[in-house]
A = this chain, B = another copy of it.
């Protein structure tokens, strides 16, 4: 059985230049699963969405389930008996990598808003430093979902010779206007909370703003049809006792409240702001002058683009646009449009649809239908 350690750390020595500033010796946290083979050609680099840590799957060193537990492991679609998987905690996040909540070595204080404006390209470059530190010259695959998909696309453009295949899930090479507006509003909720205090807070910080932002996030991650199926117009049993005309009355309100409360304290508000804005700022047209020219720079010889028809944040039109932009005579591109009702978050929950696609891409041996079903 392949060995896996829990979180590891790589320090990028010296000045790390970003698009809008620089950091002194930032640290990047990551986890790995499986073993790098002799030819070092079985590495799969996974970038995450906005809020997850590098703990994508359990291992001997950390047996708690990861955020993509059904996808990574032995006898799973990304089979760690075959592949060496590296998951990166994004630069700017708060799970071990340097971000706005980290201490600036030059001042001894947290960076807070003195952290440089963050871009998806910065996150990709920081991830590449980890890959170089592991002695990997060329990845089998760079992949990611949501913000992680944007980062995988950026990585493929910035390091075209270091990528054999690209997998983008519920993501895009530029944002849609509507998603920019939604994220802007989420950031404003956080910044409007007096406890944010222009980024200078201690403890949980702007708990009310984070709770509101998380609720709006959930409403954009999930679809209308799914909420209707799960909650309908059901009422909370004890709603009438609370004597508050605007208190929680419907089940759907209770659901959002319980999930939002879990998020507060689990993610740093300033990190959230920086990562959220990074998605707005990503535009592949910045590389080569146009969307088409940008994607032409992608080095991968093979690409898989998966999208979900009910995704509001990264609409299916964007996934098609990405697949078509990648499709040239040099590259083998596969585009899959899934009809999941779970919207943007389907890649985390609709395992019946997602697992077979990744199993197929990674030539996994998990071919018994029963195994697929039991994972859902």
Binding site for B on A (CB under 8 A): 113, 117, 174-178, 180-182, 184-185, 187-189, 191-194, 208, 212, 215-216, 219, 224, 227-228, 230-233, 245-246, 249-250, 252-253, 256, 273-274, 277, 280, 283, 312, 315
Contact = CB atoms under 8 A, between A and B. Distances in A.
A233 B277 contact: no
Given A192-B212, A315-B224, A219 B178 contact: yes
Copies in the assembly, this chain: 2
B280 A250 contact: yes
Contact of A253 (B181, B194, B228): B181
Given A219-B185, A224-B315, A245-B277, A177 B283 contact: no
Contact of A216 (B177, B185, B208, B245): B185
Given A187-B246, A246-B191, A181 B233 contact: no
A245 B246 CA distance: 35
A59 to B, nearest CB: 36
A119 B280 CA distance: 40
A12 to B, nearest CB: 22
User: For A182, A184, A194, which residue has the most chain B Cβ atoms within 10 angstroms?
Assistant: A184
The interface residues of chain A, by DSSP majority, are classed as helix
A208 B253 CA distance: 22
Contacts of A233: 174-175, 177, 180, 283
A277 B208 CA distance: 21
A204 to B, nearest CB: 15
Contact of A178 (B185, B187, B192, B228): B228
A219 B180 contact: no
Nearest to A283: B233
A192 B192 CA distance: 10
A253 B315 contact: no
B245 A181 contact: no
Contacts of A228: 176-178
Given A184-B250, A252-B180, A192 B208 contact: yes
Nearest to A232: B177
A126 to B, nearest CB: 19
B177 A219 contact: no
Given A182-B219, A253-B181, A256-B181, A245 B189 contact: no
9 closest A-B pairs by CB: A178-B224, A177-B227, A177-B228, A184-B253, A181-B252, A192-B208, A177-B252, A177-B231, A185-B215
